[in-house]
Amino acid sequence: MAPNDTPSPDPAPTPERKGILAFVQNLKAPKPDAAATSKPSTLTEPFTDKGQLYHHFAEFSWTLQQNNWLRISFIVHVALATLIWGGGYLAITRPTYLQIGAPTLKESAEAFYGTDYTTVDPKLTLDQMSFFTISALALLHQLDAYSTPPMPLLRGMVDPSIIEKAQKRYDKNAKLIQQQKFVQNLVINRILNPITNPQTGTVAVFVEGYFAMLLQDENGDPVNRIEPYRGKAILRFTPVSELNPFPFTLEDLTEVVGKAEAAKWDSETEKFFKK
């Protein structure tokens, strides 16, 4: 073999340069011959998973997938932003709905006792006061051998001590009432002008009337009796409640029964009504 035919070793690969040096090296490198380059339709090396062409298409496919995810993310963000802004707009423009729960103990007490004084008519008339007085006294003295007294109806309208006193009077004479078939009703035929007491905040109402009583004697014969009645009812202005539909409460009661007692009462109270 001739000395010139000995293959020379491959030159050492030129180290890869970066930056400005790589740009200058590319300018100095000779341009490849167009005839020596492969045609676009031909492959210089087989298409394998290690070739540059494979990596090129792989990166290109990942770019498409990344673009799809970006589109989906953009659509989702736009939808969420629209939902949030739409919800805020509806919250501002739509009416507010209030859900009312069960009342508290304080609210129940205020509703029960009617603490709102504006519900009471500020122009309290004599008719209101007269109707309340007549109703309270009539129920307080109503007796019937065939039924129990209507004391529960007076709760909230009459002071409990007055109701208790009337109940005890009935319980004491309940047996006699049954034996005599006793029936009693109080009739109020006159109510005098009320007298106010600014110091105590009460009103004194003087009434005149009579007791109409029906009973049976020992022989079973009916007996009718009429007894004059006089009374002074002390009323206090109270708020309207569920128990008492009137703006008054009967706080105290003074009364006499009988012809002589009524005459004495009239002479003593005449001074309050002199003009």
Q: Please give the pLDDT value at position 103.
A: 79
Split into its structural domains, the chain has a count of 1
On whether residue 50 sits in a domain, the answer given is no
On whether residue 118 sits in a domain, the answer given is yes
Q: Please give the pLDDT value at position 264.
A: 92
Residue 224: burial class (beta carbons within 10 Å; 0-12, 13-18, 19+):
exposed
On whether residue 70 sits in a domain, the answer given is no
Which of 87-91, 105-109, 123-127, 151-155 shows the lowest per-residue confidence on average (mean pLDDT)? Answer: 123-127
CATH number for 153: 3.10.450.230
81 — pLDDT class (breaks 50, 70, 90): very high
Average pLDDT, integer, range 67-93: 89
On whether residue 81 sits in a domain, the answer given is no
Closest CA to 188 of 237, 143, 142: 142
Distance (Å, whole) CA 236 – CA 252: 9
- Helices 160-172 and 126-140 meet at what angle, rounded to 10? 30
Q: pTM of the predicted model, to two decimals?
A: 0.54
On whether residue 98 sits in a domain, the answer given is no
Q: Please give the pLDDT value at position 78.
A: 94
pLDDT at 134 over 90: yes
Q: Please give the pLDDT value at position 14.
A: 53
Q: Please give the pLDDT value at position 177.
A: 87
Residue span of the structural domain in which 165 resides = 110-273
pLDDT in tens, 225-259: 999 999 999 998 888 888 888 888 999 999 999 99
Closest CA to 169 of 257, 248, 262: 257
Percentage of the chain exceeding pLDDT 70: 71
Higher pLDDT pick, 93 / 211: 211
Mean pLDDT of all residues belonging to the chain: 78
Average pLDDT, integer, range 150-172: 90
On whether residue 196 sits in a domain, the answer given is yes
- If phi over 0 gives left and psi between -120 and 50 gives alpha, with beta otherwise, what is residue 19? left
pLDDT in tens, 6-55: 555 555 555 555 555 555 565 555 555 555 555 555 555 555 666 666 66
The CA R_g of the chain, rounded to the nearest whole Å, is 55
Average pLDDT, integer, range 142-162: 88
On whether residue 160 sits in a domain, the answer given is yes
Q: How far is Cα of residue 150 from the mean position of the Cα atoms in its chain? A: 35
On whether residue 116 sits in a domain, the answer given is yes
Given a contact cutoff of 8 angstroms between Cβ atoms, the answer to whether 241 and 230 are in contact is no
Looking at the DSSP bridge assignments, the partners of residue 195 are 204
151 — pLDDT class (breaks 50, 70, 90): confident
Q: Please give the pLDDT value at position 133.
A: 93
